[in-house]
Structure 1
Amino acid sequence: MEEQQATLRTVDDRPVLRFERRLAHSPEKVWKAVTDPAEMVHWFPATVETEQVVGAAMRFTFEGGDDLTHGRILEFDPPKVYAFRWNQDVLRFEVLPDGPGCRLVFTHTLGGGWAGRLTAGRTAAGWDVCLVALLARLDGEPSEQPSEQPSGWADRIGAYVEVFGLAEGETRESGDSHLVRFARDLMWKPVEEVWDVLVERDDPRPGAEPPAWLTNPYVPAGPVTEAGAPRVLEYDWLHDGEPAGRVRWEFAHDPAQGTRVVLTQTVPARLADLRATALAAWQAHLEVLFAAVQGEPRRRPEGRVEELRKLYEHRLG
């Protein structure tokens, strides 16, 4: 199988992941592997129950049987096209004859608006693992249902997050200040568990120092101004020893999308030249923070902030 990296594009205002694989197997064999529930169990992340007709209801059960979701078949044209809705998402498999084998074109349209788009990195990494299991099944090699979190998971996701531009921050005008903003997916961990990791189980209080995981050395931290465990933490940041603005962390959990964080920093107009440094420092910090939340702690690569600062300076003009 020739493996290509997934791409992310926008179609009709919705994010769409696209995967393409060239397979040394007949279209009929690949069709059976991607449509027959008895075959899908070897590579698809959930057990599928359905009738193979357009309009049929679908039932997806994850390992252990505790998680149950639903969908509906949208297209069923053997041995060419199979598409179905899965909760808010749409999955579509197209099998195209190609010489002695075929090409499999798989697209995943992500629902959930901007929050759904944030999950594109982890979704792409997950499907890469599933497609490797699919190839093993087609080749007659032993395969197991893909693990929820294989080795190097944080790095795999992080690579896609960067390629898709999901790691980048933005700046907005906010009155007489600028607002530096990041939004990042934190996977499926409960928000309470994420909070415990980042505050190290010692809930901060107003007036106290903010937890180290929620600060970075390029944005000197002042005292906590608001603390609402496990969802909100805000504190002053300092310039020349005096409060210059606020840093605010907001954590949210959606049963359909998982846990995410929105990080903002207000920067007064007189300090606008600090925006590139703030953007670079927080992006690098969020990369390390994401890995820590996934149980894969690491240090920030040397020179990473400077590398990003140059990119943001160019963008900001």
Structure 2
Amino acid sequence: MAVDKNKIIAEATKHVQKGAYDKAIKSYEKILAEDAKDVRILLKVGELHQKKGDDKAAAAAFQKVAETYAEQGFFLKSVAVYKQIVKLDPDDVRANERLAALYQQLGLMSDAMAQLQTVAAAHEKAGDLGRLTEVLRRMVELDPDNIASSIKLGEMQARAGQAAAALECFRRAAAYLKRNSRADEYLKVAERIAVLTPDDHALTRELAHIYLGKGDTKRALAKLQLSFKVDAKDVETLQLLAQAFRDLGQTSKTLSVYKELARVHEERGRAGDARAAWRKVQELAPDDPDAAAALGAGAGAARRVAPAHPAATPLAFGPTF
């Protein structure tokens, strides 16, 4: 036989007036036994638990209300109840996740991101790296320009041995940072990419160029050493090496690099570039006989002279390299 809702509500109201909250809750539970999704009664039960100071029980009752509203398509009402739940129980990760999903469904992306950040922080605190990775992936999908999330997701994937996925995140972040002229942050991300792609020699030279621009010549030389080992005749690498040694005041090494650069240009038939390199030599050492011979004799004679001078032998840099 169906319960008489009105009679039970009147009974529960009398209990509430007397402060007998437990008795009132038991009365309402008779109705819920027949209709577990009666949101009006669930809200009353939740409010009574709040009055008792039992926030966990109140949150559980409100959870059913929020779920019911969502099932019925009342998303804004569901959001309002979930917000009440997370106030009662901030550590309820499931409620925070559901609230984020509802915000996303309603197109409230900034609110969804804020909620996902709360969820991510909870998983990180709990040490649940798997679920943290999933939440970070959702955040990146929701907002690809959220660089902090991309980088953090990349770090997580790199630690998990997922190099390809990590690179995708780092490269996305690096492109955004470069596009927005955030040089220092770009450098940090580019270094992470370099660790995962040691064969990316174009990136290695780029990093060397950046470090030279920042006046960090030692780091620049460390990068240039890697590039030089791969291709000792790469013109850009030699130019950067010359700049690095010149910045360090190592004139003899600077001269050796410029002479090697001149020889490489001569081998490739670039007479004008070869003469420019020899002029660099002459600027540093006006009495250098190799430069005098090359510049005095002209491009053709320079090619004949080049093999005889010391720069024609492979460069070998000492410990300072």
Q: For this structure pair, what is the TM-score category when the shorter chain's length is used for normalisation?
A: under 0.3
TM-score, normalised relative to structure 1:
0.26
Q: Which has the larger radius of gyration?
A: 2
- Which has the bigger relative contact order, CA under 8 A and spacing at least 6? 1
TM-score, normalised relative to structure 2:
0.25
Larger strand percent: 1
Larger helix percent: 2
